[in-house]
Amino acid sequence: MNLLNSDPYPLALSETKSLQISRRHLARRYSRVAHGLYAPNHVLARSSPHAWPLVARSLAIQKLFPSCALSGFAALEARGVPFLDPLVPVTFWTTSNNTTRDFRFNAIPRRVSALPPCEGIGQLTVVPVADSVIDALKAIESGAATWWVPLISDLKKEEIRMVQIVDATRRYIGLSWADLKAAGHRRIKRKLLKTIWALSDPGADSPPETYLRLAVRDLTNWTSQREFFRANGARLTAADLADEKSKVALFYDGEHHLHRDQRDYDSDVTQQLRLQGWEPIRITAGQLRNIKELRMRVWHFIERNTR
């Protein structure tokens, strides 16, 4: 896999012949990072294997333990779930009793008597979706996986992260409560799992949209991904959250909204919605860092429009 320049990594010694990499080239440009596994020197100069991107560490574990199956964040990323933190651990299932936690690649083994029906995705073998989600939630619960989230007074940070993962899985690859409940049996507390599922929504396009929804969820009866149309019937946009009673619509604006073409489009959307009697509120990443102020502003518009 080419992640930097033209030197593939992680590279198994058994792959050098098929990739036409000579022993001389290997000795000059690569260094050994594990038994039979190599990485380019320029990659190692930037970061140790522990800090490699998730996809690179996933490949490393798969090549070190060919009979294993990836789970958790590694499997979710392989299936197409975006926005995962690149430094979360790699969880893998193995039937071997000789496998221990691999700190070099921040990898966590789960020993099982037999692997479930797995799927091959590129060079990776992955366990079913629901099992992968449970392993991701377990990593969050234990503190092995962490990333920045804003404070929401009635939720723990771990709960926010869990909801983000369930949201993203439901949105991008699909997940049912029945499958998640079955996968979580005797692995995670049923009460916690039910809470996370109840807080989740398949309409969140990104992690910031998840904590926007969580931050204002008690202010009114929101509808996620509420669609709006132009006078001629053409689709105009979809609000991340909308309240039919107050006619307040929330939009999370990521960095791409700073581009000129996007700003022109956003301005048109704002004007069109106001002509339809709606109050569009655009929220940026910076505003999500002050949840108290954000809630006050949103509530102001809701209250004003329902007098």
| Residue-wise pLDDT tens digits, 96-110 | 987 777 889 999 999
Question: The whole model's pTM is what?
Answer: 0.90
Confidence at residue 100, expressed as pLDDT on a 0 to 100 scale: 74
Residue 112 in tokens: 């099982």
Per residue in 128-162, pLDDT (tens digit) is 999 999 999 999 999 999 999 988 989 999 999 99
What count of Cα atoms within 13 Å lies in the side-chain half-sphere of residue 175? Answer: 30
Domain holding 172, by residue range, is 48-202
Using the Cα atoms of residue 265, residue 269, residue 271 and residue 272 in order, give the sign of their dihedral.
positive
Within this chain, do residues 11 and 98 fall inside the same structural domain, yes or no?
Answer: no
Confidence at residue 259, expressed as pLDDT on a 0 to 100 scale: 66
Confidence at residue 2, expressed as pLDDT on a 0 to 100 scale: 40
Within this chain, do residues 229 and 136 fall inside the same structural domain, yes or no?
Answer: no
Within this chain, do residues 113 and 234 fall inside the same structural domain, yes or no?
Answer: no
Which of 273, 281, 285 lies closest to 297, judged by CA?
281
Question: Which residues does 90 contact at the CB level (< 8 Å), separation at least 6?
Answer: 54, 57, 58, 61, 70, 72, 73, 74, 105, 106, 107, 108
CATH of the domain at 280: 3.40.960
Where among 151, 180, 202 does a domain terminate? 202
Residue 289 in tokens: 């860092």
Per residue in 176-234, pLDDT (tens digit) is 999 999 999 999 999 999 999 999 999 999 999 999 999 999 999 999 999 999 989 99
What count of Cα atoms within 13 Å lies in the side-chain half-sphere of residue 229? Answer: 5
Where among 202, 233, 254 does a domain terminate? 202
Mean pLDDT of the chain: 92
Which of 7, 4, 10 lies closest to 63, judged by CA?
10
What count of Cα atoms within 13 Å lies in the side-chain half-sphere of residue 109? Answer: 20
Within this chain, do residues 215 and 297 fall inside the same structural domain, yes or no?
Answer: yes
Within this chain, do residues 154 and 179 fall inside the same structural domain, yes or no?
Answer: yes
Within this chain, do residues 283 and 154 fall inside the same structural domain, yes or no?
Answer: no
Count of domains forming the chain: 3
Confidence at residue 216, expressed as pLDDT on a 0 to 100 scale: 97
pLDDT at residue 111 tops 60: yes
